[in-house]
Every structure is written in C-alpha cells, then in structure tokens.
Structure 1
C-alpha cells in the first residue's frame, strides 16, 4: 500500500530520479506518483513546497521533503541505508560527486530548455545557450573518459542515466557521437536497472 507520494511530472528528469530509485530499492509499491503542475497557482504543490518545485515527497503524516537528492537519501534510509548511498566515506563521496555531475548536466539542460520555451526565437541568447551547452559537453566528455559503474546502481548512476534520458527526450542533442563508451554504458544500464522502462519520460 502506498504511503509515500511523489509530486512530479511524468517528463521531469529530476522527478524520474526518485521514481527510479524506488524501483531499485524495492519501494515502488509504497510510492504513489501524483502529477503536479508547478505553473498552476492553485496546485497544492506550492503549499507542500514553498519553492513550488518538483519533485516533492509527501510523507504519510503530511510532512514533505525536497529536492531529488534529499528524497533519494530518504529512500535509501527507508531501505536500510547504504544501498544507493554508500556508508564508507570514499565510496560515498564518489557516488555523491557523480550525482552532482549528472544533476549539473540536468541543470544546464533545463536552462537551455527554458530559454527556448519562454522566449521567442529572435530573443534567444546564443551566448547563454552556448554557455550551458559547454557545461554539458564537458561533463559528457568526462563521463566518456570514465563511465559510471557497470555493476552498481547508486545515486550517481541514477542521476547520469536520468540526465542522458532528458537529453534524448527534450533536447535532441547527438550526445552519443564520439562517446561510444558512455552510449554503451547507458544501454547496459537500461537493461539491468529495475524500473528503467517504467519511468521513461512520456
């Protein structure tokens, strides 16, 4: 029975992170996904999270947690700890660093998306778009040089997979060109990660 509610959209890459983590940790049956509209002033999201951002986790007692990184840590706690966030310091900080890289790709990609969503094309700042694309390309090159693990599914792998899925779904960049190791990693991750297909953006 679901006692946890994730307020998100079905296309949000940050919202996909806790949805995917729930499958990985065996918590999926406890998690209900409720679609939130952060543009709607009447949506209860704004009382659940004063920032009005997704994802927001609503607990059984009505209290809330946000953002995706906090929710993933809470899910790891519910699953006994040390499952997707290692307890050993070196492994823990390596996982958190990789998560930061994946989230950084998403941050830059979302800023690109917003620039083209909310401005007429004639008003797009090409300098801004290039700046954000530069961040993404440097991060993707770093991942090509050192792909994530093929054996573990930690917060870092989850974040990177969600960031690559977002690029495919929203931006259409050919990130695979010149990055065969990273492309191969995502294919293998998709095949072995519980919930990967179920959480695809749609």
Structure 2
C-alpha cells in the first residue's frame, strides 16, 4: 500500500499512527496538495490527503474511511469495536477530535492562505470557540479514565492525541494543558507509544 500524505497533516498522522499500531507495511509518499504539479487529483477528486492507494491501485480517501478499512486488515489490536454502543462511542470521539482539527485547519488556512484584507476575525474567533468547547467536552468525558473508552486503547485515543498534537504544532501559545488536565494526562501517556513518537509533526 502507498499513503499520500504530508508530515504536518493531522488527518494523515491519524492514519500513520493506526498503521503503526496495526504493524502494517506501506510506502509513505509526501504530497503537497497546494503545489501546481500535485498528483493528488489522480487518486482523490477532492484533492485532499490522506489518500491510500491499495495494491490493486484502487484508492481510499478521508481519514475516517481509511482507518476503518485498515482496522479490518488484521484482527490483532483492534482499534474499533465491531458493533454496538462501544463502536458508536469510539466514532463519536473520533468525530469530536476531527471537529477540533477542522476548526484548527480552517484558522490556519484563513490566516496563511487568504489575503490579510479579506480575513474575517469574527469567523476566526468562532473556530477558536469550537475548539475550546470541544476540548472542554473531551476533558470532561475523559475524566479519570486511563483512556477515552475506559481501560482499552482505541481509535478514540489516536484521534484525540492527533488533534492535541496539531494544536501544539500550529498554536504553540494555546495553553490547553493548563485548562484541561485530563487531556494533558492522556497526551503524556500517548507520547510514550512508538506510534506517536515516530509520527510527531514538525514544521
């Protein structure tokens, strides 16, 4: 398999962490979707990464779709429950973590890709509000549990960890650790895992 990705994309990092946890072999191909000569449209008509090119040359895109597929490739270390309420709960954790990323990426694009005279500060503030509300909700839901789903490491933890890592990367002055102690504790635990340490984003 080949993964079209960038080293700073939090969505791609989620896929890379899952691949590491599942011990899956793949080739990482770095792709700049903003470049004029980008090949991403050949594989994903939406022009987004990550994009997984499978052995038969078929492609999968959207990180949520990709990680769900990857989890079926090996029964070892299942990251998503197969059915029932627990499965829905894991996917809800992933959804709120991805929502943090959606808001954060929107801010980054607004502040770095849009001409300054066209930037809309109230819209940027609204995205920051979404991030703060989501962090508060995740911190409260996590409570004193070892992991998002209790005692079991899952995709929920991967999604949350990647969201927190992206905030550190793009918003280094956002002191989320001082406000959300439960998330800080989880983050410290996740950083000890090889899958997270080996995919740490850097500008």
What TM-score comes out, normalization by structure 2 length?
0.91
Give the paired residue count. Answer: 196
Picking from 104, 111, 120, the partner of 1:109 is 104
| Structure 2 runs not aligned, ≥5 long | 143-147
Q: RMSD of the TM alignment (CA)?
A: 1.6
| Structure 1 runs not aligned, ≥5 long | none
In the alignment, what sits opposite 1:181? 182
- 1:138 paired with 2:133, answer yes
**Cα deviation digits, residues 27-73 of structure 1 (max 9, x gap):** 1xx11110011112322211111111000000011110011011101
Q: Is the 8 A contact 1:150 1:188 kept in 2?
A: no
In the alignment, what sits opposite 1:31? 26
- Note closer, same or farther for the CA distance 1:81–1:65 as it changes in structure 2 (3 Å cut): farther
- 1:40 paired with 2:35, answer yes
In the alignment, what sits opposite 2:153? 153
Residue 106 of structure 1 deviates from its aligned partner by 0.2
Inter-partner Cα distance in structure 1 for 2:119 and 2:169: 21
Q: Is the 8 A contact 1:5 1:32 kept in 2?
A: yes
Picking from 6, 11, 14, the partner of 2:8 is 11
Q: Is the 8 A contact 1:7 1:36 kept in 2?
A: yes
Q: Is the 8 A contact 2:149 2:156 kept in 1?
A: no
What TM-score comes out, normalization by structure 1 length?
0.91
Q: Partner of 1:22: helix, strand, or coil?
A: helix
- Note closer, same or farther for the CA distance 1:81–1:91 as it changes in structure 2 (3 Å cut): farther
